[in-house]
Amino acid sequence: MKVYSNISQLLTLSGAHAKDGRKLVDSDLSLIENASIVVDDELIHWVGKTEDLPEDYKKIPTTNLSGHIVTPEIVDSHTHLVFGGNRSFEYGLRLKGATYEEIATAGGGILHTADKTAHLSEEELFKTACARIERINSYGVGTIEIKSGYGLNFEAEYKISKAINKLKEHFQPRIKIVRTYMAAHAVPKSFLSSQQFIDELVIPLMEKLQSEDLIDIVDIFHEKNYFTDEDTRKLFTKAQGLGLKVKMHADEMNDNNGAAIAAEFSALSADHLLQVSDAGIRALAASPTVATILPGTALFLGKPLAPARNMIDAGVKLAIASDYNPGSCHCDNLILLTSISAKNLGLTPVEIWAGITLNAAHALGLYEQGAIIAGHRPRLSVFKASTHEEIFYSWGRNLSVKI
Amino acid sequence: MKVYSNISQLLTLSGAHAKDGRKLVDSDLSLIENASIVVDDELIHWVGKTEDLPEDYKKIPTTNLSGHIVTPEIVDSHTHLVFGGNRSFEYGLRLKGATYEEIATAGGGILHTADKTAHLSEEELFKTACARIERINSYGVGTIEIKSGYGLNFEAEYKISKAINKLKEHFQPRIKIVRTYMAAHAVPKSFLSSQQFIDELVIPLMEKLQSEDLIDIVDIFHEKNYFTDEDTRKLFTKAQGLGLKVKMHADEMNDNNGAAIAAEFSALSADHLLQVSDAGIRALAASPTVATILPGTALFLGKPLAPARNMIDAGVKLAIASDYNPGSCHCDNLILLTSISAKNLGLTPVEIWAGITLNAAHALGLYEQGAIIAGHRPRLSVFKASTHEEIFYSWGRNLSVKI
């Protein structure tokens, strides 16, 4: 048992938790000044003002967190961080206005990453990813989702999923890794159709990985010229039949009715949503599905940001994630990406905090973290700062500390 | 004399230099692979491919910079980094949609910073600024402009200018500080008009500071409800009469014909330019005045970015700076701000590099740096990276190294 006391500001988000992360107001931060918290390895036991700490807990050695802010643990619920290679040359082309096709012709795009990833062993993938995860954790992010998807063939996808599982085992419990299977990332040229790829590779490999307990969630790139409504419904039906959770890349390049399909399956999340329609927003609002926006990707590609304000106002539960990947968002710092986009997204502080803690945890199916409440998991982030606003005010400054 | 050799990529920008930083194409990066450079403390002596290094220089001990990129030194040509206090509370209000007036009523705005700055001694201002400068330098920025302007009265402005001068002396030659006098930042309530403030405080103090060799450049916040055309012309005429250079905050909130006034005085730069008119752009193109854009401020305030592409295409010399300050852009990292805005600004790699090196140096009247050419000052930045594109591709990652 440990006691942390004199915390300058503790954001419990208990108000946000009670509202399931929707339509939040300032008071839903449930901020306690000069707070204490009592935890063991498994549970939060007590939360309140330091002056109200029960007698029994006063005997336990205390860590003084005066001058610090404690929040629910920051969760990055969308990354593609297991990859080989470096696509900085492609970024240069992009800045010069190259189209997707021109980049592909110059040897860029997902096939570049797939090729470089194919040349790394499971151990090499594991090691490069370890360094990336440690850096992400240094920003105060403690739960990280990782998608497979740069394999594009059975063996490579299997290797990547095993590497992700090894990362999960290696880092737990300090860093929680959530394993997402996303073989349905793009259709390799060796398949005639997305349908054939889903039938002959994506589903059989999913079944194998599920039987070996190597994956938690199944994702798909639902988009024109990638995977269809039918592919998505078939994959999700199979996945849910196996007891796996589902989420999807939805309405990024076009409005494809992706949000509504995610809602239809009560997917954990629909991600991207740059082009989501009003009907899609209404479907999300009526579902448990979290809308996960990835503002870094929009900025990296020079696109308008997702309609975050409209979604929140409609009653959608909104999360923010990094989309850290080598092609469309080479930024691993969720707090930075949130800071630089918050004002243009029209997000308030409580919406930001819920978006990277509570709602991001829900986007991964983690309902016992994301709020600092007795009985929940003691997954916390700690910052050296005088106010919680300072964490977003100081762009590019890492205020995270380890306790 | 020192020799740096095997530099993976040396961006000399000699092509950009030959074009005075205007209408650049890729080849104006004047990139040399596997390059060497010979320098002493004062001058660049030789630049070229390592294999072409003249015999005489081969006897000199060499530093191997394989795996590194060398560029002209990064210059942050617009900061307000001498200040007291912290306005994170105000940033929280801003995210909640508070207006300028509401922020002022809540105790925010420039008067908050002026009050906190007034309570610090010259030594305290110096010390807090030292820490900020070291951090900025850690990103690879080696020349930094600093404006006064949070004094709002004679004594406080004098104190700030002395602190800035002390910073210059303290850091030279490792870090070059350029001292800008900007008492004309806002009109204090104790003055009846901007005209009275210019006549009774700004000009007399400028004369005193110039006589004591404490300032290099004079700046003014030319804007509706701040300082008028007449104020600006009077101040600039006086300043130039004293041999001081001038620059101005122009066309940020409204199109006030600021760019044209800057051009009329051949000001070193016109800064902000969010609302610059086509006529203003034409005036800049026909003048030596650099257009300095501050994309961090636009993002921080949730405004559209400056029309960088239009200006460059019209033949304007464009620089990029941070505007690091406690109110409207609390970000001190110019490379980060450039990275996150480049794609939406429509800037190519050569335009980015010229914008933070050559053209930024010109925005401070420094014509002997900004390109790596024999006879120029040996002011360089060095990054651990395999390509120069990687420096902007890796958002939020500090790749700068000291040699």
Tokens coding B71: 């560029």
Could you tell me if residue B11 is left (phi over 0), alpha (psi between -120 and 50 degrees) or otherwise beta? beta
Q: Do B331 and A395 touch (CB under 8 A)?
A: yes
DSSP string, B78-111: -B-----S--HHHHHHHHTT--HHHHHHTT-SHH
Contact between residue A72 and residue A369 where contact means Cβ atoms under 8 Å apart: yes
Average pLDDT, chain B: 97
Average pLDDT estimate for A360-384:
98
Chain B positions in Cβ-Cβ contact with residue A336 (cut-off 8 Å): 336, 395-396
Q: What are phi and psi of B268, to 5 degrees?
A: -60, -40
Strand partners, A11: A31
CA distances from A38 to A3, A54, A60 (A): 5, 10, 9
Q: Which residues of chain B have pLDDT under 70?
A: none
**Six token digits for residue A313:** 């106002």
Q: What digits encode the pLDDT tens for the residues B147-175?
A: 999 999 999 999 999 999 999 999 999 99
A100 touches chain B (CB under 8 A): no
User: Residue B34, Cβ neighbours under 10 Å: how many?
Assistant: 15
Q: Are strands B141-147 and B176-184 parallel, antiparallel or unpaired?
A: parallel
Asked if residues A130 and A170 have their Cβ atoms less than 8 Å apart, the reply is yes
Cα(A236)–Cα(A158) distance, integer angstroms: 19
B-chain residues within 8 Å CB-CB of A91?
389, 392-393
Q: How many angstroms away from the CA of B349 is the closest CA of chain A? A: 6
Tell me whether residues A343 and B387 touch, CB distance under 8 A: no
User: Is residue A313 within a helix (H) or strand (E), and if so which, with residue range?
Assistant: helix A308-313
**What residue type is B345 in one-letter code?**
L
Interface probe for A, chosen from B297, B393, B397 (most Cβ of A below 10 Å), is B393
Contact list in A for residue B343 (CB cut-off 8 A) is 94-95, 299-302
> Could you identify the residue written with the tokens 């997902």?
A110
* CATH 2.30.40.10 boundaries in chain B: 2-72+369-401
pLDDT for B100 equals 84
Residues of chain B with C-beta less than 8 angstroms from the C-beta of A302? 343-344, 346
Long-range contacts of A311-316 (CB under 8 A, 24+ apart): A311/A273, A311/A276, A311/A281, A311/A284, A311/A285, A312/A22, A312/A23, A312/A347, A312/A351, A313/A23, A314/A281, A314/A282, A314/A284, A314/A285, A315/A22, A315/A23, A315/A285, A316/A22, A316/A281, A316/A284, A316/A285, A316/A291
CA dihedral A267, A271, A274, A279 (to 10 degrees): 10
Confidence grade of residue A323 (pLDDT, cut at 50, 70, 90):
very high
- CATH 3.20.20.140 in chain A is located at 74-362
Name the token pair of A205: 């490999």
Write out chain B residues lying below 8 Å of A349, CB-based: 92, 95-96
According to CATH, the topology of domain B74-362 is: TIM Barrel (3.20.20)
Chain B residues in contact with A332 by the CB 8 A cut-off are: 396
pTM of the predicted protein model:
0.97
Q: Using the structure block, give the residue that is written with the tokens 């209404």.
A: A282
Tell if the CB–CB gap between B95 and A348 is shorter than 8 Å: yes
User: Which of A88, A389, A394 is the closest to B92 by Cβ?
Assistant: A389
pLDDT value of residue A100: 84
Shortest distance between the Cα of A81 and any Cα of chain B, in A, equals 14
Cα–Cα distance for residue pair A308/A292, rounded to 1 Å? 9
* H or E stretch at A124: helix A122-138
A92–B387 C-beta distance less than 8 A = yes
Q: Does A91 touch chain B (CB under 8 A)?
A: yes
Total beta-carbon pairs less than 8 A apart between chain A and chain B: 114
Please state which CATH class domain B2-72+369-401 belongs to: mainly beta
Helix (H, G, I), strand (E, B) or coil at A223: coil
Q: At how many degrees (to 10) do helices B203-211 and B229-241 cross?
A: 20
Q: What pLDDT, on a 0 to 100 scale, did the predictor assign at position A158? A: 98
ipTM for the whole complex: 0.95
Confidence band of A101 (pLDDT split at 50, 70, 90): confident
pLDDT of A263 above 90? yes
Amino acid at B171: F
Q: Provide, as residue numbers in chain A, all residues whose Cβ is less than 8 Å from the Cβ of B394.
A: 88, 330-331
Q: Which amino acid is at B12?
A: T
Contact status, residue A359 vs residue A21, Cβ threshold 8 Å: yes
Alpha-carbon distance of A273 to A160, in angstroms, equals: 27
- Chain A CB within 8 Å of residue B21 CB: no
Residues paired with B57 in a beta bridge: none
User: From CA A266, how far away is CA A249, in angstroms rounded?
Assistant: 14
Instruction: Please judge whether B344 and A302 are an interchain contact, meaning their C-beta atoms are less than 8 angstroms apart.
Output: yes
Is A395 within 8 Å of B95 when comparing Cβ atoms? Answer: no
Q: Do B330 and A394 touch (CB under 8 A)?
A: yes
Interchain proximity A95–B387, CB inside 8 Å:
no
Average pLDDT on A118-147 reads: 98
